[in-house]
Structure 1
Amino acid sequence: MRLIRMVLLGALTLGAGLVQAEDDSRAVQRLTTLLGQAQTLSGRFSQLTLDGSGTQLQEANGEMELKRPGLLRWHTDAPMEQLLVSNGEKVWLYDPDLEQVTIQALDQRLTHTPALLLSGDVSKIRENFTISYQEGGSVVDFILKPRARDTLFDTLRLSFRNGVINDMQLIDSIGQRTNILFLGVKQNVALDNARFTFVPPPGTDVIEER
């Protein structure tokens, strides 16, 4: 549960020869351009969480779909199956094993979280993060550090290859790392808005947080 909540609700090694841009304005412009050119994204993901010493804690795979602004569907496969859905106003986190769904309003705090950042309003990024970037060949790496203090991660790296999101890495205050690799990513394909709402199955325990 903590793994998916950290990614959905909350020292980096880079290749030699990369040139770092010091101008934050250039970093913001570059990132907003790359994020903004993908009005929809869909594909698979592979997620690995390591502790501060590099020991593997959890591994998971699944499918993701997003549509701007604020629509997200993030499904983690069994045996750790969970589903997160956002319609831009509400967020549903469904655990089929527990037969339980938690519903939250999509407030400003939740829009700062990594998965929802990918589908959010790109114009708000600079308000919420300090940003730098490094570029080498076809790869661009962005380092985002939250301006707020009450976040679940200290550093977020977003990596693009040939203009398409390739992977992300989160590091928290105790050095725990979560690496997410995106596979078979498709940009700007039609996605039905019905995919971004959730109706709890009969018998599901509904917890609505306010």
Structure 2
Amino acid sequence: MKLNLTLAGLLAATTFALSGTASASALDQFKTFVSGTKAARGEFTQTQLRSRQGAGKAQPASSGSFVFARPGKFIWTYHKPYEQVLQADGETLYVYDKDLNQVTTRKLGNALGSSPAAILFGSNDLEKNFTLAEAGARDGLEWLTATPKAKDTTFEQIGIGLKDGVPQAMELKDSFGQTSVLKFTNFQRNPQLGAQQFKFEVPKGAEVVSQ
């Protein structure tokens, strides 16, 4: 795989201004957002920083689009620099690499658990898997941190930046000293989604590998 499976260990996304939240704390804004957002779509950019060994130097950004419906249904599509799709139908996760014409599948099960994906695509019971705390204001956003309670997760801490009740950015700090920065744009909150929206169709001729 060319791209780190940030949001499939992942990976990612969500949405819109909620009335009366502009002056609320980040934690209050986020809880209101999660309880009121059943589905969303939008676009993202993702940049990786090497905070320890790479002296904070950013690698080239990737970008794409997303759509999700809680719990556990999402399509996270990288358009640049390589085409790759991470898709889950609530039971199975599919990762499609266009260049390789290969699909990797795995059971979703409890895989979302304490991953960043759980924050965006999982159930509303976030405090079961994360310790949430206020993290102050920065870059025009109100921030909170989500620290996984599980000891076997790849991520040490996840930062979520909000404005006017909307998640605008996430910072994913892993145990290898890298930080992935996600920024979200063009959110649509609770859009109408088709019944077959998250049904994965294996591309013609693609090799399928199960894990």
* Distance in 1 between residues matched to 2:156 and 2:69, nearest whole Å: 26
Q: What are the Cα deviations for residues 92-147 of structure 1, in whole angstroms up to 9, with x where unaligned? A: 11101111111111121334321343021012x11211110245598432201111
Corresponding residue of 1:155: 157
Corresponding residue of 2:49: 50
In the alignment, which of 92, 116, 138 is matched to residue 114 of structure 1? 116
Q: How many residues align?
A: 193
* Distance in 1 between residues matched to 2:192 and 2:56, nearest whole Å: 39
Q: What are the Cα deviations for residues 26-70 of structure 1, in whole angstroms up to 9, with x where unaligned? A: 94x653322121111111101100112111234100001111222
User: How high is the sequence identity, in percent, across the aligned residues?
Assistant: 29
Segments of 5+ residues of structure 2 without an aligned counterpart are: 11-24
Preserved CA contact (<8 Å) 2:29 2:166: no
Corresponding residue of 2:127: 126
Corresponding residue of 2:64: 62
Corresponding residue of 1:188: 190
**Secondary structure of the equivalent of 1:122?**
coil
Corresponding residue of 1:8: 8
Letter of the 2:34 counterpart: L
Q: What are the Cα deviations for residues 145-193 of structure 1, in whole angstroms up to 9, with x where unaligned? A: 1111221211101122111121101011232110000011111111223
Preserved CA contact (<8 Å) 1:40 1:66: yes
* Distance in 2 between residues matched to 1:199 and 1:49, nearest whole Å: 30
Q: Calculate the aligned-residue CA RMSD, in Å.
A: 2.2
Preserved CA contact (<8 Å) 2:30 2:162: no
Segments of 5+ residues of structure 1 without an aligned counterpart are: 11-20
**Secondary structure of the equivalent of 2:196?**
helix
**Secondary structure of the equivalent of 1:8?**
coil
Letter of the 2:129 counterpart: N
- Greater share of helix residues, 1 or 2? 1
* Distance in 2 between residues matched to 1:206 and 1:164, nearest whole Å: 37
